[in-house]
Amino acid sequence: MIGHLMAHKPHIAFLGTGIMGAPMARHLAEAGFPLKVWNRTPEKAEALAACGATIASSASEAVADADVIVFMVTSGEAADDVLFGTGEVATHLKSGAIVVMMSSIAVDVARAQARRLARYNVGYVDAPVSGGETGAINATLAIMAGGTDHDFEAVLPVLSVLGRVTHIGQVGAGQLTKLANQIIVAGTIALISEAFTLAAQGGADPAQVRQALTGGFADSIILQQQGLRMIEGRFTPGGNAFNQVKDFDAVARVASEVQLSLPTTECVSKLFRAMVAEGDGALDHSGLIRHIQRLNGLLKTDIQPGASS
């Protein structure tokens, strides 16, 4: 079992080396973990060879002999496909390995994956993250983990390289915490978008407004980082609006299951869905300010999705 291997560096397979995954994998390689990486688009993984990672030609090749398998793919559906569909990774995992699902996926999907992997004597920790591309690059991610005490303790040395780790509870608790995070992030982005639009239309410089609010009750990492993106019109995605809407879908599923009404979240969800419908889904979620400006006839320029203005 992997718990007995922690005196040595466990072998890690890292699946998904996109905007977030690439710097995360690099930190693990630089920390000395034996590392194999795989990405569906191979060129996104190739740069990691310079850090000492081995580039695998398939997901099944990457996981062969791995003690810890980290997923950072786009969705629960993508993870399911790699695990149980075309990737067939589950059948190549060794007994006693642990899958760490760092992708943001639906709570019920995470729990179902854990149950299916248990048939192969494979552990499971759902460990989604917050902090965006900046947190991945700086290894300052907030990591929210769900799983058994044994599995969590076994993978903690790996996760600790990537940021601050909190064990929330059993499998699914990490994804629930990420949904709570996304509700707060999206709601804050919506309010800052409206606040900056009001300030600008009333004759105040949003940059100075942001500066004045820093350190007060309205301050937040969102105000500092995403607020700056809004002011600079810099919407190359760290986290895009498509993924924000995906997270709202997951929130709605859980809220329905537990019979909750979340009226503020539903309002913010409609704003992001409108942003996507306008063609801005590939932009960073801070690009919501463009929707607010468009609603008020104030949007003066258009930009190509995924690009800065």
Number of H helices, E strands in the chain: 14, 9
Judging by DSSP bridges, how do beta strands 141-146 and 163-169 pair with one another?
parallel
Active site residue 36: no
CB 104 within 8 A of CB 130: no
Write out the DSSP string of 213-239.
Answer: HTTSTT--HIIIIIHHHHHHT----SS
Q: 130 has which bridge partners?
A: 142
Contact (Cβ atoms closer than 8 angstroms) between residue 72 and residue 24? yes
Tokens of 55: 């580039």
Sequence-ordered list of residues with C-beta below 8 angstroms from that of 260, at least 6 positions apart, any chain:
none
DSSP state of 56: P
Three-state secondary structure string covering 155-201: HHHHHCCCEEEEEEECCCHHHHHHHHHHHHHHHHHHHHHHHHHHHHH
Q: Does residue 290 contact residue 282 with C-beta atoms inside 8 Å?
A: no
- Select which of 36, 94, 178, 270 is catalytic: 178
- In angstroms, the CA 115 to CA 136 distance is 29
Q: Cβ of 110: how many Cβ atoms within 10 Å? A: 28
DSSP per-residue letters across 226-295: IHHHHHHT----SSBHHHHHHHHHHHHHHHHHTT---HHHHHHHHHHHHHIIIIITTSBGGGHHHHHHHH
Active-site residues, by number, are 178
